């Protein structure tokens, strides 16, 4: 078998493996499949692209680059990335105003997963201290 | 199972809604579609805990805490502040957050978080069982405190506590527990506990129940707000009060 054949073989394998990924691009806009986890200013808040895109029909332009830049974690670096800002209609509060989507001051723990939710997502198997006892 | 003539199967929320209306559920008829209700005396209708039974307590100030439960997001800044302020070792805790996983009507998962600490009970089971009087109720403030040098580490108080609020501190060779930061903050002129100060959502409101102008008194005496305590059936009469909003 010539070296050329092996190279072709590998190339074709690569091509077939790549097809499904490229196919997704054709069907719709690409977005992160894993949830975004914010840990500032408090631990932790979950944001799911899947829920917002698939269940609520938003597209990239709905939130990018305003109010959120494409790079995950950018908003987190801002001093005003807090609940007060949301109540004033910034960040998540642009939609989560009680009309477009549920208000930012309602249903806290749908987004706030807490330290426990954060650890769960990290796959932490550390035993929880509070579970021990009598 | 909803059986005729029994109140079994009525959820706490349903019960509470009826209590708010001034009605008490006395039974369920016809597979749960018909409820048997009676009018409640006015003071019972106000809340699940009868706050009047806390009037005339011997403590002044009578320190207590109101926890606005549905605002807790388990950021655990309270726990961090407590550990730092009270030198809590990593194997112990003075306060904790419990979690219950729930689903909303659309099937989305979320959590209900429950901050728990020593309930500084009016009838504290831990104090009753301590063989050496190492844990007592502070005569002035009602805070359940430890006298470390009297503790023999028998852990009977740990078993007696309905709130799992005690642990054995290896360094002190004594049981350790929440004391509302009495030694670390209150005695130094600070007005609130470390956990309450650290909470970004104002979930923990610390104050004096004997003072009718205090925030804790107001929060526990709003006519249309249900107030509840953990494990009321023990008769320990806790002073950690829970409400929503």
- Is A1 strand, coil or helix? coil
The CATH code for residues A36-124 is 3.90.10.10
Q: Cβ contact (<8 Å) for A113 and B74?
A: yes
- pLDDT band at residue A132, thresholds of 50, 70 and 90? very low
Do the Cβ atoms of A68 and A74 come closer than 8 Å?
yes
Evaluate whether B227 touches B50 at the Cβ level (below 8 Å).
Answer: no
Q: Return the closest-CA partner of residue B111 out of A115, A42, A113, A36.
A: A113
Question: Please, what are the domains in chain B?
Answer: 12-46 (no CATH), 51-243 (3.30.70.20)
Burial of B106 (0-12, 13-18, 19+ CB in 10 A): exposed
Q: Residue A44: is the preceding peptide bond cis (ω within 30°)?
A: yes
Q: What are phi and psi of B122, to 5 degrees?
A: -70, -35
Nearest CA to CA, how far is A109 from chain B (Å)? 6
At A44, list the tokens: 């932790």
| Residues of A whose CB is below 8 A from B112 | 109
Look at residue A15 and tell me whether its pLDDT is greater than 90. Answer: no
Mapped onto helix, strand or coil, the DSSP state of residue B235 is coil
- Is the pLDDT score of A8 beyond 90? no
Question: Six-digit token pair at B77?
Answer: 């800044």
Q: What is the pLDDT of residue A26?
A: 42
pLDDT tens digit sequence for B214-225: 999 999 999 889
Question: Which of A108, A115, A134 has its CB closest to that of B76?
Answer: A115
| Complex ipTM value | 0.77
The least confident of A122-131, B3-12, B89-98 is B3-12
């Amino acid at each position: 078998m010539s070296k050329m054949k092996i190279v072709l073989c590998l190339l074709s394998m690569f091509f077939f493996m790549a097809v499904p990924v490229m196919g997704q691009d054709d069907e719709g806009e690409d977005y992160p499949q894993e949830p975004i986890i914010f840990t500032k200013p408090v631990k932790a808040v979950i944001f799911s692209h899947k829920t917002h895109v698939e269940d609520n029909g938003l597209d990239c332009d709905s939130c990018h680059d305003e109010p959120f830049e494409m790079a995950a974690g950018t908003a987190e670096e801002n001093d005003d990335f807090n609940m007060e800002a949301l109540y004033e209609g910034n960040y998540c509060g642009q939609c989560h105003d009680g009309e477009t989507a549920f208000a930012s001051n309602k249903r806290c723990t749908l987004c706030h997963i807490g330290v426990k939710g954060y650890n769960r997502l990290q796959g932490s198997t550390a035993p929880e201290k509070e579970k021990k006892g009598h | 199972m909803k059986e005729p003539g029994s109140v079994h199967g009525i959820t706490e929320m349903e019960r509470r809604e009826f209590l708010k209306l001034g009605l008490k559920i006395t039974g369920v008829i016809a597979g749960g579609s018909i409820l048997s209700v009676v009018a409640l005396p006015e003071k019972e209708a106000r809340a699940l805990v009868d706050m009047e039974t806390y009037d005339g307590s011997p403590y002044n100030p009578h320190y207590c805490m109101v926890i606005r439960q549905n605002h807790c997001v388990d950021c655990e800044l309270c726990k961090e502040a407590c550990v730092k302020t009270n030198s809590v070792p990593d194997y112990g805790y003075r306060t904790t957050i419990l979690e219950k996983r729930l689903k909303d009507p659309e099937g989305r998962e979320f959590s209900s978080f429950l901050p728990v600490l020593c309930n500084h009970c009016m009838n504290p089971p831990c104090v009753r069982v301590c063989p050496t009087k190492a844990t007592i109720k502070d005569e002035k403030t009602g805070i359940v405190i430890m006298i470390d040098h009297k503790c023999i580490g028998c852990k009977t108080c740990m078993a007696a506590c309905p709130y799992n609020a005690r642990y054995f501190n290896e360094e002190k060779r004594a049981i350790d527990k929440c004391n509302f930061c009495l030694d670390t903050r209150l005695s130094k002129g600070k007005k609130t506990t470390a956990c309450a100060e650290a909470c970004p959502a104002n979930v923990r409101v610390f104050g004096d129940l004997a003072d009718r102008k205090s925030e804790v008194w107001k929060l526990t005496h709003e006519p249309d707000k249900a107030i509840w305590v953990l494990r009321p059936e023990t008769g320990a009469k806790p002073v950690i009060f829970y409400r929503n909003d």
